[in-house]
Chains A and B, each alone.
Chain A
Amino acid sequence: MERLEEKRLGIYRLWRNPSIRNLSLVLTALLIMAVVLIALYSHYSTERLKKSWMDKEAAMIGSLVAEQPEWAAKWITHLVETDKPSPESVAEGYKVLDQYGLTTALESDWFPVLGGHQSRTFWSLIGGAIVFMILIALFVFREISKQLQRIRTLANSLEDTVKHNQPMSYLVYDEGELGLLANGAQELTIRLRETIEQLHRDKAFLKDTVSDISHQLKTPLASLMIYIDLLREGNVDAGHAAEFLATCRRELDRMEWLTLALLKLARLEADALEMSMEEIPLADTLTRAKDSVRRLADDKTIDIKIEKSASDTSVVLPHDSHWLAEAFMNLLKNAIEHSPSGSTVAVSLENTPVFIRLQIKDQGPGIAAQHLPHIFKKFYRSSSEGSGVGLGLPLAKSIVEKHGGVLSVLPNPSGGTIFNIALPHHPFSANSTKLTKL
């Protein structure tokens, strides 16, 4: 999801690539080497030219001294003269030289001293250039093949990951473009693995749900069958028959509730449900939940006290009123069931910059520490109290999480239990659920 800063690679971005850095270093080193070698060679070649020229002059003077000593002296005077020769004498000289075939048009190779110098310079420079080209080519090839090798390893490891569903065996934590590519590939494989794992989890979830439902329904079904068989046989007196029928009715009610709750939970957990979010006061939803548990509370003469903060209709939050009321209802029901008769269940609300936090406090015995980690698990019951089968709290948790919130239970220092529902004003948007993984 993170884009590269610009389409074209700037110098700075380019420089972050280790291969570019290596290459620049090697090329700079080669350049320095070339400059040094050229300096050395030009020095050597000049020295050599000087020597050949001096030899030639010396030989000439040597032979002149033997034959015409005064000419030799004149020759030397002219040779060491620093004044510029007059153009006339140069022209006169060329005329004489011309007669012997020594003209500027003549190939340099034919000149005595110059001849060797030219071919030597030519071959040395060609040789040097070839050596340098080969060196540069070698380094560039080495750097490229190193990069290609890494890409190849990356490709192989990617293939292994895709085929065998394993973690990537080759990880690059480099600066530069290859590092980013490797990072992207790695994220891709992790997402793939996540998806596969999610599929397995979904399958396991389906299996669990089916076995939960059948397990939970088997017992009441068996007892229903027994009662109905007894009634059908007809040798039960009227009093017992009425009692049996009442039991049947109770079992059926329980089965209905169970089936509904399990279906709700299954739909929530399978993400098969879209919440229809509406900007409405949270207080309305709370009242709705309170109304649906009123009878239960009245039976135990428990007062559900919605504190002023929680009945403030100006606190508006986008939520699905139907489902969130269901969550509140389950939490209230749980609180009522675990409260002694005549006590109070208090609901308070706190509005922070991040969350709207609802707390449901009861005056019951509280939840023992060893049960705390498990109370949101399906069919987990910390005590035999309450009519529930252990679906209310998991249902509430699922609903709160569907709203992007957190449901947790806090120990209450003054006794009882506090259920804490934190609903963010701005939940993380559901479509950005992907994270940069390992």
Chain B
Amino acid sequence: MDVINVDGLNKFYGKGTTQVSALRDVSFAIKQGEFVAVVGASGSGKSTLLHMLGGLDKPSDGYVHIDGENLYALKEKDRAVFRRRKIGFIFQSYNLIPVLNVEENIQLPMLLDHRQPDKAYISDLIHTLGLHDRRKHLPSELSGGQQQRVAIGRALAYRPAIVLADEPTGNLDSANGREVIELLKLAVNQYHQTVIVITHDMNVAAEADRVLKLQDGKLISDTSSHGRGV
């Protein structure tokens, strides 16, 4: 089933003659459990697209349907709750809360929702991420690779159906980058999650089930989804 359906998405910045279009008439559908890479040069609209998929930025025109729900028909407040519960974000710069330790950072989405995190699952997750020895450390005491693993943990804490990653390997060396991608693939395999990764790294793109290529805000190629087996 299609988890994400993007239809005629446009995004303009500015007005009149100074108008810049970041996205032009982008349409595609993504199935559940797909590992999708979005590639393109800087300024091709990759990040804008990811922000629209995550409900972070309103499109000028067009729709984003997530499992049939029109994301931008929701009220801003409801969209925030939707985002917190359904979508995991991973950023290039990790964006961890510096005063919270590893464990607290990972549980943050649930704590924001005033839910008691499932202790067994969180502990399992921390073990899988190889962070057990570091669970009481602050982000500043961790290496880049470790910080990004914490961010992955945070994105997976709610076991969201969709994980959006913006250049997750951008600040990492190739070994750590490989690890991040393998962890994301693990999530796809284990939880049948849908992962969308923005990347410059062709090695990352090569691992994806499907590659969407953007150029000047247009979708110029979409390696036909051959689908993951069941």
Which residues of chain A have a CB within 8 Å of any CB of chain B? 1-5, 13, 16, 167, 171-175, 179, 183, 190, 193, 197, 201, 204-205, 269, 352-355, 357, 372-374, 376-377, 394, 401, 404-406, 408, 410-411, 422, 424-429, 432-438
Q: Is B207's CB within 8 Å of the partner chain A?
A: yes
| A99 CA / B143 CA spacing, docked (Å) | 103
B124's nearest neighbour on chain A, judged by CB, is: A429
A169's nearest neighbour on chain B, judged by CB, is: B68
Contact B203 A410 (CB under 8 A): yes
Which residues of chain B have a CB within 8 Å of any CB of chain A? 1, 3, 66-69, 74, 77-79, 81-82, 85-86, 110, 114-118, 120-121, 124-125, 127-131, 146, 149, 158-162, 175, 179, 182-183, 185-186, 189-193, 203, 206-207, 209, 223, 226, 229-230
Contact A435 B161 (CB under 8 A): yes
Most chain A CB within 10 A, of B114, B131, B183, B207, is at B114
Contact A426 B81 (CB under 8 A): no
Contact B115 A173 (CB under 8 A): no
| A426 CA / B190 CA spacing, docked (Å) | 13
| A411 CA / B116 CA spacing, docked (Å) | 44
What is the minimal beta-carbon distance from B175 to any residue of chain A, in angstroms? 7
B contact residues around A355 at 8 Å (CB): 179, 182
Q: Which 9 A-B pairs have the closest CB atoms?
A: A435-B159, A353-B130, A173-B78, A426-B127, A438-B67, A354-B130, A2-B115, A435-B191, A173-B81
> Which residue in A201, A422, A438 is a CB contact (below 8 Å) of B66?
A438
A contact residues around B191 at 8 Å (CB): 428, 433-435
Contact A436:B226 (CB < 8 A) given known A408-B207, A425-B130: no
Contact A201 B179 (CB under 8 A): no
> Which residue in B67, B128, B146, B175 is a CB contact (below 8 Å) of A428?
B128
Contact B179 A354 (CB under 8 A): yes
What is the minimal beta-carbon distance from B229 to any residue of chain A, in angstroms? 7
Contact B79 A408 (CB under 8 A): no
Contact A436 B161 (CB under 8 A): yes
What is the minimal beta-carbon distance from B153 to any residue of chain A, in angstroms? 11
A contact residues around B69 at 8 Å (CB): 171, 438
Contact B128 A424 (CB under 8 A): yes
Contact A354 B129 (CB under 8 A): yes
> Which residue in A1, A167, A373 is a CB contact (below 8 Å) of B118?
A1
| A354 CA / B175 CA spacing, docked (Å) | 12
Contact A411:B206 (CB < 8 A) given known A427-B128, A428-B128: yes
14 A-B Cβ contacts within 8 A?
A1-B118, A2-B110, A3-B118, A16-B114, A167-B68, A205-B230, A373-B209, A376-B229, A404-B190, A410-B203, A425-B128, A428-B124, A435-B159, A435-B193
B4's nearest neighbour on chain A, judged by CB, is: A438
| A434 CA / B193 CA spacing, docked (Å) | 10
